[in-house]
Amino acid sequence: MAQDNGNRHVPAHVAIVMDGNGRWAQQRGLPRGEGHRSGVGAVREAVRAAVACGVRYLTLYAFSTENWKRPPEEVNGLMQLLVESADTYLQEFIDGGIRVDTIGDTSALPPLVRGAIAQVRKMTREGKKLTLIIALNYGGRPEIVRATRAIAEAVLEGRARPEEIDESMLTQHLYTAGLPDPDLLIRTSGEQRLSNFLLWQLAYTEFYFTPKLWPDFTGADFEAALHDYAQRKRRFGGV
């Protein structure tokens, strides 16, 4: 695992399944979209806490390949929120040394969202403090299928031989190529499942589940998860 923050007790890469926005809104008699809107505040908290703690990579699951099953109003609302948030936080990201990137099939997103992403990626590319990776139209299985296809094409075209296919080659064809695997995965809202998130990359990741709904998740909650992680003994199959 990459430990470029120099402290093995601090995870270099934290991934979060930000779940529970809908229930947060429902509990208040509000439309689900208000839960998503409130969730943006929790993203800001998590980013600040990650920087303060010395985390180098933060990957946030914002929209899965399965989330298209939701009502169009909700999907549209989420897309709009992405565009708005990109605008609202761009300067804060630049000032804070935060490099923003995405994983997932962004080509299927509405043009306005793609434009906003392109702008934020370009304007934040010099950021050195934290890499913030937003998983958008991301699914772990489609990611592995895509990598497999690319490798099959390479073999067909004579650029690779079947016996050269190994874990490293597959890793290099994933959206996350070049990133260290997550050390810690957090999921809010009490659900204890992966929901198609980073299936390959989470092979030896530590999991942390909390009943808190995502809009209620604070910087202190992020620190509590890191504190829990610091007590873990990772073995990677060894002793």
- In the complex with ligand IPE, the residue whose CB is nearer, 189 or 210, is 189
Residue choice 64, 65, 124, 201 for contact with ligand IPE (CB under 6 A): 64
Helix or strand run (H / E) with residue 171: helix 167-172
Which residue bears the tokens 């390949």?
A: 65
Residue (of 222, 228, 205) closest to 2 by Cα position: 205
140 touches ligand IPE (CB under 6 A)? no
153 binds, among ligand IPE, Mg ion, none (CB under 5 to 8 A by kind): none
* Only segment of 13-21, 79-87, 123-131, 226-234 that touches Mg ion (CB under 5 A): 13-21
Which residue bears the tokens 């610091």?
A: 230
Residue choice 17, 19, 61, 174 for contact with Mg ion (CB under 5 A): 19
39 touches Mg ion (CB under 5 A)? no
Residue 137 a catalytic site member = no
Residue choice 14, 18, 109, 179 for contact with ligand IPE (CB under 6 A): 18
d(CA 138, CA 126): 25
d(CA 124, CA 131): 10
17 touches ligand IPE (CB under 6 A)? yes
Compute how many other C-beta atoms are within 10 angstroms of the C-beta atom of residue 41. Answer: 14
Residue 67 a catalytic site member = yes
Residue (of 101, 88, 81) closest to 32 by Cα position: 81
Q: Among residue numbers 182 through 221, which ones bind ligand IPE (CB under 6 A)?
A: 189, 191, 193, 195
How far, rounded to the nearest angstrom, does the alpha carbon of residue 209 sit from its chain's CA centroid?
Answer: 16
d(CA 150, CA 153): 5
Catalytic residue among 4, 5, 67, 76: 67
Which positions are catalytic?
19, 67
Which residues participate in the annotated binding site for substrate? 20-24, 32, 36, 64-66, 68, 70, 187, 193-195
Q: Which residues bind Mg ion (CB under 5 A)?
A: 19
Which residues participate in the annotated binding site for Mg(2+)? 19, 206
